[in-house]
A = this chain, B = another copy of it.
Amino acid sequence: MNSRSPSTLIADTGRGNEAAILNAALEAFGTKGFNGASMRDVAKGAGTGLSNLYNYFPSKSQLLAEVLRHANDELYARVRRAVEEAGDDAASRMREAVRAYVGFVVDHQVATVVATSEVRYLEQGDRQRLVAERDATQALFEEIVAQGIAGGEFRTPYGKDAARAILSMIAAVAYWYHRDGRLSRGQLAEQQARYALAMLEAPLAN
């Protein structure tokens, strides 16, 4: 359980206005894109002055990097915890991993969109670091797939590639899901889990 709203990605960091700035940046980058959003937009959203942003982050690009780092951390933590708390068989673990990922995507749609479509605006070094963090999450899925294939639960001939396909599919949900639409969070998660297991060619549960 988390004390703050699920849609506020970054909690207080104990340093002045930092969290407000990060959340405002996320919002701005999500709404207008990294290059479409201005530092003024961010400042306005954070309720502070433009120049004050630079007391916290040395550049717009670094600000984006921090936002994405927080997002990745949260996503990784959610998936990891879900896998740890799941049963022992690969199918249960995959199901829980997918549910956790979908939960993150739905709670933080904006962050998911930003993380997938604005990474390229990072500076070289930050981008590499970010990709590495993202790969860590992907590795959690790959391990489950490998376990499932080894144990005969999954019959797909495409191990790692299937994991990647699953992740893209889930992340894409962020682009169209509406909280008040036809599908509830739970239904959505259920669908995605079923797609994922089907892609891995796990025999249907029932």
CB distance from A122 to the nearest CB of B (A): 12
Q: Tell me whether B191 and A161 are in contact (CB under 8 A).
A: yes
Expressed in whole angstroms, the Cα–Cα distance for A33 and B192 within the complex equals 30
Expressed in whole angstroms, the Cα–Cα distance for A120 and B34 within the complex equals 13
Indicate how many identical chains form the complex. Answer: 4
Asked if A136 is an interface residue, CB under 8 A from chain B, the answer is: no
Asked if A139 is an interface residue, CB under 8 A from chain B, the answer is: no
Task: Tell me how many residues of A have a C-beta within 8 Å of chain B.
Answer: 31
Asked if A62 is an interface residue, CB under 8 A from chain B, the answer is: no
- For A173, the closest partner residue in chain B by CB is B168
Q: A175 contacts which chain B residues (CB < 8 A)?
A: 116, 168
Pick the contact of A33: B121, B169, B195, B201 (CB < 8 A).
B121
- For A164, the closest partner residue in chain B by CB is B176
Q: What mask results when residues 11 to 37 of chain A are scored 1 for a CB within 8 Å of chain B, else 0?
A: 000000000000000000000111110
Q: Tell me whether B33 and A158 are in contact (CB under 8 A).
A: no
- For A198, the closest partner residue in chain B by CB is B198
- For A188, the closest partner residue in chain B by CB is B161
- For A157, the closest partner residue in chain B by CB is B194
Expressed in whole angstroms, the Cα–Cα distance for A175 and B33 within the complex equals 17
Give 26 CB contacts A-B under 8 Å.
A32-B35, A33-B33, A33-B34, A33-B35, A33-B120, A34-B36, A35-B36, A36-B121, A116-B175, A117-B117, A156-B194, A158-B191, A161-B183, A162-B195, A164-B176, A165-B169, A165-B195, A168-B169, A168-B173, A168-B175, A169-B169, A195-B199, A198-B199, A198-B201, A199-B199, A201-B204
